[in-house]
Amino acid sequence: FVYIEDVVNANILAMDSNVKHELLNVGTGSSISIKDLAYVIVEASGLSLKPFHGPELPGDIRTSQADIMLIKKLLGWEPKTKLEDWLIEVISSKNFKDV
């Protein structure tokens, strides 16, 4: 999960650079579990919900983390906005009183 403005900035840097024929990962460089993500979303929404954990499904990905070392090295790019910050920004702009 990465903030869209960070993705846009990475793309602009790539277009303006002399780097050619490279595959560059754009991400946060860190991981968060879906459970922890759910708690961040609930907290940001202000709702009194409790996330629950269901059974694991075939094909579920336990962990995923983008390796952003190459984009840092070649373009000097790294994300500026933390996941928790942009989730709070997006969710707090919505009205969840009727949920």
CA distances from 89 to 21, 41, 45 (A): 35, 11, 10
| Residue 98 within any structural domain of the chain | no
Q: pTM of the full predicted structure? A: 0.79
How many structural domains comprise the chain?
A: 1
In a domain, 83, yes or no: yes
Residue 97 lies in a domain: no
Report d(CA 83, CA 43) in Å as an integer. 13
- Residue 76 lies inside a defined structural domain of this protein: yes
Per the structure, the complete domain to which residue 34 belongs is given by 4-52+61-92
Q: Tens-of-pLDDT digits for all 99 residues of the chain?
A: 899 999 999 999 999 999 999 999 999 999 988 888 888 888 888 888 888 888 989 998 878 899 999 999 999 999 999 988 888 888 877 766 555
Is residue 39 in some structural domain? yes
25 part of a folded domain: yes
